[in-house]
Structure formats: C-alpha cells, structure tokens
Amino acid sequence: MMLQMSGVHAHYGHIHALQGVDVSVQVGEVVTLIGANGAGKSTLLMSLFGQPRASAGRIIFDGEDITRLQTHDISRRGISLVPEGRRIFPRMTVMENLQMGAVLADPANLHVDLKRMFALFPILEERCEQRAGTLSGGEQQMLAIARALMSRPKLLLLDEPSLGLAPLYIKKIFQTIRELNRDHGMTILLIEQNAHHALRAAHRGYVLQHGQIILSGTGKELLASPEVRAAYLEGGHGAAGK
C-alpha cells in the first residue's frame, strides 16, 4: 500500500472540512477523488502534508506513519504535489522552474531527469529559456507537472490539473497521466471536478461530499453509477461550469 488515510478529520477554525475520510492508494494505481467545489478535495491533499494538520485519524505513507511529521519531512519521503492553479514561478524561465523542482533531488540526476521531462513534454524544451509566465495555461500545467516529477516522487498528487484549460490541453494532460502510470509506473492521486475524464483515466475513484466519502468503486463502476451520473456527469451541479 502506498497511501492509507484512515478516519482523517481536518478543520479550519470552526469549518469541519474533512469528517473522517478513508482513502487508500496502492502502488501503481491511479486513484481519483471527485467532488463539487468546496467538498474538501484540496484539503484532503494538503492534509497529507500537515496543512491543515489532521485533528484525528491516521495517515500511513509507504509503510510509515506520517500523520505528525513536519511538512518538509513529508515531501522528502517522496510525495509531490501539483497544486490547484499550477503555481509555477512566472518570472523564472522554464528551465529554472524545473531546477526548483529538483532542489530536494540528487544533483547527479538533474541532467537525465531534464531529458526525461523534455521527452514527456517536448514543448518545454522548445520554451526552455522563456519566462514561465509567458506560457499558455496548458503549457504552464505541463511545466507544473514536470516540476513535480523532478523530485522523483513515489506518489504524485494532482489538484484539478484540467481546470480552465482548452479542450486540446485537457486531452493532453489526461494522456500524460495515463502514460506516466502505464509506462513509468507512477502512482497518482488525481483530484478533479472533471469527473468524466478523471474516472476514465483512473483505476479507482472516490466521491467526496461535504468532507465525507459517499461513494467509492472502480472508475467504470462510478461512471455507470446513477448517483455519479446525476450529480457529477450530464450537467449535474458538481460539474457546474464544465
């Protein structure tokens, strides 16, 4: 088991954002967490890093209890996050952004890892000396993913990678997710409001509502589930704006 969250609660002041969630990710899996805006998806990812700290429950990563570890110790253990809204460094070049992703990595790997990223995203090699802020939204998302991969994580966390992207880039991002998993064995926890794409790309999925897991199953099962269809596909409220 790569990740096991059991009975995890988290709060922001009086807001009870996670109310006892059980989520697991096995080695080599793509797992998706879908849910409406405000359901607690980002909180769940951030709670893995202790931001906010789980107020109850346990988080086991790669055989070790990380519930009370410091954020930087957790990152060092091999969890890498592509945050909501990408958060690349706009004034730095593409290359500098990638180097920032490698600060925790062995410098001896830098060259070969850059080559791997450019093979995955050839556009980043073309744009290598360009300031990251001048890239299109889709290119910035690719850069954010590549930057996260530069630390050679065991578990990659993606927070709404398709949000606000043009359809062509959405397709490319989900292709990349499949390719990373299938060809590179990357274990991925993917958060999305775009339930259709996410469930098709994932082995398994969970539905989060008001801080609670209300459904789980294989991607296929959830795609076929009447509740998921009504709420998150076919223009349901959870898919608002999609």
Helix (H) or strand (E) holding 39: none
Q: State the binding string over 41-70 for ligand ADP (x if CB under 6 A, else -).
A: xxx---------------------------
Selected binder of ligand ADP within 15, 27, 100, 166 (CB under 6 A) = 15
Q: Which among Mg ion, ligand ADP, none contacts residue 35 (Cβ within 5 to 8 A by kind)?
A: ligand ADP
Our CB check for ligand ADP shows the closer of 78 and 236 to be: 236
Sheet holding 15-25, edge to edge: 15-25, 3-12, 56-61, 64-65
Task: Taking the CA atoms of 223, 225, 229 and 232 in sequence, report the sign of the dihedral they define.
Answer: negative
Our CB check for ligand ADP shows the closer of 35 and 153 to be: 35
Our CB check for ligand ADP shows the closer of 35 and 138 to be: 35
Q: Does 37 bind ligand ADP (CB under 6 A)?
A: yes
Our CB check for Mg ion shows the closer of 31 and 117 to be: 31
CB 113 within 8 A of CB 87: no
Q: Does 17 bind ligand ADP (CB under 6 A)?
A: yes
Helix axes 110-120, 137-149, angle to 10 degrees: 140
Q: Does 39 bind ligand ADP (CB under 6 A)?
A: yes
Q: Does 35 bind ligand ADP (CB under 6 A)?
A: yes
Q: What is the DSSP string of 151-206?
A: T--SEEEEESTTTT--HHHHHHHHHHHHHHHHHH--EEEEEES-HHHHHHH-SEEE
